[in-house]
Amino acid sequence: MQPTRRRFLQAGLCASTGYFLNPSHAQDAPTWPPVLRGAKNGTVTLRSDRFLDVPDAVAKNRMVAGASSFTVAKEAPTVDLAYHGNLGANAMGRRLWSTWGDICLAADGKVYVGLGDHADDAGGDARCFIYAWDPPAKMLTQVVDMNRVIPPQPGQPAWSKVHAKIDEGADGKIYFNCTLNDGNRAGNANFRWTKKLPGGQLYQYDPQKRTTAVFATLPNAPRCSATSLYDRARNVWWCNLEVGGNALWCLDMQKRTTVFQAPNGSMGFNRAFAIDRAGNVFYNGEKNTLWKYDRAGNRLVQTKTGWGNAPGMRSATRESRAGHIYGTTHGNAKMPGTRQLWRYAPARDELSLLGPCWLSGDYVTVAELSPDERFVYYLPGAHGQAFTSGTPVIQYDIANNRRKVIAFLARAFEQAHDYVPAGTYGVKISADGGTLYVNFNGHPTKNLPKHLRPNGFGLCSFAAIHIPRSER
């Protein structure tokens, strides 16, 4: 064992992330998540003018040369917020409750989100769940427990994360796949896959029957995926296959057969890809280039577009009626200006950089185009660090190239409920454009268990942000 890794493990820390491993501090709190003060059916509703207060750090950083300008909404939103519950025995003692993937807005208005504990995946001691938010009832309910779908058995791995998208299929069922703490390690010898669980799988949840079943197994097992995209118009599901070199794979959802599989290693930065209305898929190739799967020719083609110093796209919206896809670059925290908002015209292979997504640039993992296609919504600081800027909710005005903060959520929730929502990988907008749904990582600000730090992780929540009509 390497000396550095040994020191981390002896201290109870994960060598790769620095987060605490399974602690022995369960006696510090009787329940987890903690009680959400003032909640009704597990949900609190907050409307506060503090949502409109600019944090001191933001006021300072907006003066830095090259920082993107922004305005602040004049009318505060109303926010419903609930913790993910029903986490099982000794929930407080799990390694790291966290959310990592994009969420699903179903046709009936329900929102499906994922949660995992980032625990001992190789040893089979990990937990992973799917929840459904019911807007009229304002309730967040657990609907899938992956340890019931794939019952644990000695030596069998267990899923610890939902990192790829959750989608509603053309048949009205909910589709998702799970992954490990690091899906690229699925081929390591300590992962002893079984006939029941040979590797990554696509799962189907039936909302009517409330049942979950294995729908398909990723090819060339044991491969996993942290990135997916569903093409509803053609009823095909795309994902990136990890292990052995990143590669696109496409599944025909009706026939359950492979439509296309790219050569191993053909994908570069593997955390996002986009699709146009013709069904062409755009992805990050080698050396920061943009490639596409040409549907008509059933082949991979390099575009003329490159990402410069950025590894590539980290988020992408659907294509607008005007023929544009919007998104954010992955960027580099040490290279100012590489975390950009962008617009891409697939028909012309034309990329336009629209400036830093927030201040001098910040990590954004999901972007959502409003139904009327006037705005792009996103939340900077995805990896737990949103609270350092007050957890801003950004509305980007496409026509005027302007950023407006709908709310700074952190301070108001800290004061009202001792909780800080602190970063997201999952955002959706309601059909009427009035409610933004967000699956948050976060942390409590009082009575923290000894193994938790106020770093934006450990206590997850779901929020419905109701945007005033005057602000949209």
Reported as a single tens digit per residue, the pLDDT across 256-266 is: 999 999 999 99
At 57, which helix (H) or strand (E)? helix 56-61
For the segment 107-139, what is each residue's pLDDT rounded down to a tens digit? 999 999 999 999 999 999 999 999 999 999 999
Q: Are 387 and 410 in contact (CB under 8 A)?
A: yes
| Phi and psi at residue 101, to the nearest 5° | -125, 165
Please tell me the pTM assigned to this model: 0.93
DSSP reduced 3-state for 134: strand
Question: What's the pLDDT band for 461 if we cut at 50, 70, 90?
Answer: very high
Q: Average the pLDDT over 201-224 and give the result.
A: 98
- Tell me how far apart the terminal alpha carbons of the chain are, to the nearest angstrom: 56
Which residues fall within 8 angstroms of residue 440, CB to CB, at 6 or more apart?
99, 421, 422, 423, 424, 460, 461, 462, 463
Q: Are 329 and 307 in contact (CB under 8 A)?
A: yes
How many whole angstroms separate alpha carbon 445 and alpha carbon 37? Answer: 13
How many whole angstroms separate alpha carbon 246 and alpha carbon 293? Answer: 14
The pLDDT value given to residue 44: 98
Question: What's the pLDDT band for 30 if we cut at 50, 70, 90?
Answer: low
For the segment 361-415, what is each residue's pLDDT rounded down to a tens digit? 999 999 999 999 999 999 999 999 999 999 999 999 999 999 999 999 999 999 9
For the segment 432-450, what is each residue's pLDDT rounded down to a tens digit? 999 999 999 999 999 888 8
Q: What type of residue is 345?
A: A
Q: Longest Cα pair distance anywhere in the chain, in angstroms? A: 61
In DSSP terms, 98 is beta-bridged to 116
| Phi and psi at residue 461, to the nearest 5° | -145, 165
- Of the candidates 197, 204, 203, the one whose C-alpha atom is nearest the C-alpha of residue 223 is 197
The pLDDT value given to residue 8: 32
Strands, sheet with 257-261, edge to edge from the N-terminal-most edge strand: 228-231, 236-241, 247-252, 257-261
How many whole angstroms separate alpha carbon 459 and alpha carbon 472? Answer: 31
% of residues, the chain, pLDDT over 70: 94
Q: Average the pLDDT over 68-75 and give the result.
A: 98
The pLDDT value given to residue 333: 74
The rounded mean pLDDT for the chain is: 93
